[in-house]
Structure 1
Amino acid sequence: MSLISKFATVGGATMVSRVFGFGREMLMASALGVGPVADAFNLAFRFPNLFRRLFAEGAFNAAFIPLFSRSLEEEGEAGARRFASEVYSTLFAILTVFTILAWIFMPFLVQTIIAPGLAFCVDEEGGAEAISCAARFDLTVSLSRIMFPYLACMSLMAMVSGILNSFRRFFAAAAAPTVLNFVLIGVIGYAIVAGYDKPSTGYLMSWGVLASGLLQLAIVVVAMRRAGFNVSLRMPKWTNGLKRLLILAGPAALIGGITQINLFVGQAIASFKPGAVSILQYADRPYQLPLGMVGVAIGVVLLPELARSLKAGRLAEAQHTQNRSLEFALFLTVPAAVALFIIPEPIIRVIYERGEFDPSSTPAVAAVLGLYALGLPAFVMMKVFQPGYFARENTRSPMIATMISAGANIVLSLVLFQIIAEQGIALATTIAGWLNAGLLFWGLYRKGLWEIDGQLMKRSALVLLSAGLMGLSLIAMMWELGDWLNPSDPVSTQIAAILVLVPVAMAIYFALSLLTGAADRRLVLGLVKRKRVKP
């Protein structure tokens, strides 16, 4: 299976999850709108979801896969099974204690980490949905307690996914997150039909999150057993392998989850303004679709490929893999960033504007989405650069880069939030992303671990040109279709306009890419011929 085929396998499964994520967010916006209950759910979910992204989307695997692969190669399957069982048992014990402590001290966590803004909340007469500050705090604490075990499920799932990825079984781990969206779509749909009020809907959604975590863990465990591998739960022991894993995993979790750390920090600061948390969350969903499809696929596939090449001494192959991965990332994310920056408002209006999500909320969410879009290529590029360090078991250098960018994000978010509210948080996240990507690349290039080839330079410039021309065509089409994109027009008319804008813009970009050479013509023709000869 080629590198592009592996990206497509993981990216395709992730795309399905993110598409259904759209459905989930659309229903949630319709049921809860932009208000205190939506804020409480998003704040409560963000903390366990932060750990899901830290672990499940490559960070834990960045530490685990190289060590597991080494055990498999040097000690055989029995040694790898022993190492995996040690890790699983220790992780299970730590997560159990951590969850119990979180339940006990959840009010303190909400007040200091999850939503510090609620501690300074002041009740307003006639405020949104007449929920007092104390009620908002209590609701956030209750929902956080319900959903917190989801963190343990996702962390254990991440380890099992690392085993599957080491055996080049990518699909189950990539497809499992879709369960969360299926469950929440069902739960929210039921709440709407049954006529639940907003707080009751929030509670029902929280139990749905927990149930989906248990189901996702079960899916990957079954897939691991079908692959002929198993782990056992035993008394945790401190071993050299476990010590090495923990040394690598801490920095790797921080490094790999910088996007989610930035979003988490942003939401914590946004909790000082009612409704801002929901605005950031709704804007994050369209932005996460291309980020998930491309970034997660590259992060999952590239690390094992690089690790194998480097351990075998195939340095030229490793360099080629890195350059083609960056080329692939830019080819897909630059046009997506351009499109999301130019047409955020029509996209948000079509996705969310119904039910409790009123038209007055659309411009605020669209403005945040446009600013997030500017950082999209940077966050995907980070997924390309990080494996260059992880495959060499170097987590110190990228950790320093991550801490610098995270610090910049916090400072910029605090300053810009005072000026332009939630838009300032989005802008700070984007700037921090580009800073991180730049530092990661410079570290590899300076140490001679990344050699830029001529093909990458040429195609990157042509991608920028093609995406720029596509952006101009989008602006022209929006001018022509202005009567169809009016906020007062029926939703069906606006959907029709989007269905014209997006496919035409995509066609223009891909046509320009083929004509200019931004895309590999031989690869495209090869894929077309392969499809034609299939029976």
Structure 2
Amino acid sequence: MKINFLRSVSWVAMLTLLSRISGYVRELLLIQCIGINAVSDTLTILIKIPAFFRRIFAEGAMQAAFLPIFTKIKESEGEAAAYRFSASLLGILVVLLTLLMGIAEWKWDLCSSWIFSDFAHQKQRELFSLLGKVIFPYIFFISIHSFFGSISSVYGRFGIFNFSSTIGNLFICAALVGLLIYKPDTNVLCAYWASWAILGSGVLQCGMMIWGCWYQGIKAVWPILGIDKHLAVFFRKFFSAMLSVSSVQLNTVIGAIFAAQLPTKGASYLNYADRFQQLPLSLIGVSLASVLLPVLSQQQALQDPVRRWRDEQHFLRFAFMLSIWITLFFWVSSFSFGACLFYPSLKSGILAWKDVVEIAYTVRVFSLAIPAYIGIKILITRCFAHGKGQLTWISGLLNVGVTVGISLCLYRRFHHFGLAFSSVVSAWAQFIFLLCSISLREKLPLHHGLKRLWLELMPFTGVVVSVYYSMPLIWTSETSIFLHIGYMLGAAMVITALLFGFLRLRSHISYKHLRLFWKMFRG
């Protein structure tokens, strides 16, 4: 089935935007219920652990290894063989997830003692043990949900998979609204019932995805415990994908372990700042990668290397232009962005202006990694579509090693800023390593326009940031929200005009380029 790239990316981006907006609403309601304190720190650290396993068993490593193989089997051996392979894989996935849940429920207290090892975090350790046994089964349902989502994406049906995340967020939002109405005695009770809401959202998304596949006419897949000849190939790709595709999540878990040793509120600052950068990463990186993987898999099957390499170069250029705009916008508007999002909590006194300032500064640090993260998404997707899995896990090891090393050096002195900076350096290290390795190993020189774009955008970015610092604006908690909104709109228009004018002046964008992008994306 031929996938319309432009329509698919636009559709996925729109649904991803809905998911992220509903996610922001969920986080704002959670602040209203719990606040930013030791309880929110504990819940933040806890959620990152099942999220990590979700990335391994679901849309991360599993999807990157599954999609190319399923597509190849479907093209070469027929649809029946592809579904036999997926049924065998689903059976193994169910067994592994069941064992993982059983071990986690049995030995969860050991995990709590390891993460909160010092006596100063004794209460957080107890709360972590209580909430973890409720939340952890979430990974079973969300992994099955993502497995069926991978099958639907092969057929170009991306809508139900992305929309189900919005439904899951809305389910949690409804539960949090109920907590705000009935007002439990303590924020610990709020966190407990919020944990059950998170588990319920996983069950709901799983059921919705299975129903969606059936409704769209995709053949039913039932788990079987059998040996398929393609499973060995899958597991080779899967294990190499575990570190490469999940390197961001590995860094998240590493950051959570370090954050558990930070002063109170440090983990929450990191969490909310990371939420800010996840919106553009999802809209550009995840949306492009979700559609790009089946597209490149189809092109790989057709053996069209000239078109494939041309497309990849344009993907990088296009993504880099967008990501620089986002980095500049976050750097200039982080205070206003935070003030608008947290306005209800600021006015009610649940959140202090100092908390917004800390989150804003952390957002600035994280924003420096946005171009690198989006580039990593595209390059890793390319590697898996071309069967170059070894390069991806080597780059993942590099990412994790740099993160651990810099975090150990910085987190005690700079706290959450040090952990954010370590993720920036590790992201750029992985991106540069991937790009240079692909160019050298495959003897594919970088396009001149791509190299010139990077070299010329760096001084342009420096000039914009310097002008911003030469005209400082001091925000306070009393500043009107309408002034913040006006400032953000003005900053967005000025950055857009400056960036477009610069790209047009340096011949990076022209009518010819726009026609080429349209021709490439259209089919």
CA change 1:473–1:178 in 2 (3 A) is farther
The equivalences for 1:383-462 within 5 A come to 383-448=377-442, 450-460=444-454
The correspondence for 1:31, drawn from 26, 30, 33, is 33
2:183 aligned partner? 195
The code of the aligned residue for 1:6 comes to: S
Are 1:323 and 2:313 an aligned pair? yes
Counterpart residue number, 2:477: 487
Q: Give 2:55's aligned amino acid.
A: R
Question: Which 10-residue stretch deviates more, 50-59 or 208-217?
Answer: 50-59
1:309 aligns with 2:303: no
The answer to whether 1:17 aligns with 2:6 is: no
**Alignment correspondent of 1:336:** 326
CA distance in 1, matches of 2:7, 2:459: 26
Mapping for residues 133-152 of structure 1, pairs under 5 Å: 133-152=121-140
Q: Within 2, Cα distance between the matches of 1:343 and 1:214?
A: 38
1:104 aligns with 2:98: no
- SS at 2:141 equivalent: helix
State the one-letter code of the partner of 2:478: S
For 1:223 and 1:514, how far apart are their aligned partners in 2? 44
Query: In the alignment, residue 60 of structure 1 is paired with which amino acid?
Result: M
Deviation at 1:251, TM superposition (A): 2.1
- Check 1:361–1:383 CA distance in 2 against 1; reply closer, same or farther (3 A cut): same
* SS of alignment partner, residue 424 of structure 1: helix
Q: How far is the alpha carbon of 1:360 from its aligned partner? A: 2.1
Q: Which moved more, 1:159-168 or 1:510-519?
A: 510-519
How big is the shift at 1:137?
1.4
Conserved? CA contact 2:59–2:150, under 8 Å: no
Segment drifting more, 457-466 vs 328-337: 457-466
Distance 2:384 2:27 in 1: 34
Alignment of structure 1 residues 202-281 onto 2, 5 Å: 202-273=191-262, 274-281=264-271
1:278 is displaced (CA, Å) by 0.8
The CA deviation string for residues 302-334 of structure 1, in whole angstroms up to 9 with x for no partner, is 222222222211000110121111112101111
- 1:485-522 deviation per Cα after TM superposition (whole angstroms, max 9, x unaligned): 33332334333433433344335434554555434535
Identify if the C-alpha distance between structure 1 residues 346 and 67 changes in structure 2 by more than 3 Å, giving closer, same or farther. same
Once the two structures are superposed, residues 184-212 of structure 1 have per-residue CA deviations (whole angstroms, 9 ceiling, x without a partner) of 22222221222223112111211111111
Change (3 A) 1:412 1:457: closer
TM-superposed deviation, 1:298: 1.9
Conservation of the 8 A alpha-carbon contact between 1:270 and 1:277: yes
Does residue 165 of the first structure (1) align with residue 163 of the second (2)? no
Residue 117 of structure 2: aligned partner: 119
What amino acid does structure 1 have at the position aligned with 2:137? P
Once residues 56 and 330 of structure 2 are traced to their aligned partners in structure 1, the CA distance between those partners, rounded to angstroms, is 25
| Aligned residues of 1:30 and 1:352 also touching (Cα < 8 A) | no
Distance 2:443 2:21 in 1: 36
Cα distance change on mapping 1:210 and 1:254 into 2, 3 Å:
same
Shift in alpha-carbon separation, 1:184–1:496, aligned structure 2, 3 A: farther
Give the Cα separation in 1 of the matches to 2:17 and 2:514.
21
Sort the Cα spacing of 1:375 and 1:454 in 2 relative to 1 into closer, same or farther, 3 A: same
On the 8 A contact 2:332/2:491 being kept in 1, the answer is no
* Distance in 2 between residues matched to 1:57 and 1:459, nearest whole Å: 32
**C-alpha root-mean-square deviation of aligned residues, in Å?**
2.5
Tell me by how many angstroms 1:87 deviates. 0.8
The alignment status of 1:366 with 2:360, answered yes or no, reads yes
Aligned AA (2:479): D
1:323-367 deviations in Å (ceiling 9; x for gaps):
111112101111111222233223223222524221121222222
Distance 1:59 1:368, change over 3 A: same
Within 2, Cα distance between the matches of 1:434 and 1:333?
A: 14
Tell me if structure 1 keeps the 8 A contact 2:36–2:351.
Answer: yes
**Mean CA deviation greater in 58-67 or 519-528:** 519-528
Q: 1:54 to 1:348 in 2, by over 3 A?
A: farther
User: Is the 1:339–1:471 Cα contact (8 Å) retained in structure 2?
Assistant: no
Task: Give the structure 1 partner of residue 521 of structure 2.
Answer: none
How far residue 445 of structure 1 moved from its aligned partner, in angstroms, is 0.6
Q: Deviations over 1:376-406 (max 9, x none)?
A: 1111100111122211223222101111220
| Alignment TM-score, normalising by the size of structure 2 | 0.90
Other structure's SS at 2:351 match: coil
Amino acid at match of 1:154: I
- Structure-2 separation of matches of 1:442 and 1:308: 25
Match of 1:348 in 2: 338
Structure 2 gaps, min length 5: 519-523
Read off the aligned partner of 1:498 and give its amino acid letter: M
In the alignment, residue 317 of structure 2 is paired with which amino acid?
Answer: E
Contact 2:52-2:249 at 8 Å conserved across structures: yes
Match of 2:109, as an amino acid?
P
Alpha-carbon distance between aligned partners in 2 of 1:20 and 1:516, rounded to the nearest angstrom: 39
Amino acid at match of 2:48: R
| Number of aligned residues | 510
User: 2 CA distance for matches of 1:393 and 1:373?
Assistant: 31
**Alpha carbons 2:9, 2:287 under 8 Å: kept:** yes
Structure 1 position 183 matched with structure 2 position 171: yes
Structure 1 unpaired stretches of 5+: 123-132, 529-535
| CA displacement at 1:461 relative to structure 2 | 5.1
Q: Distance in 2 between matches of 1:337 and 1:99?
A: 39
Cα 1:14–1:450 shift into 2, 3 Å? farther
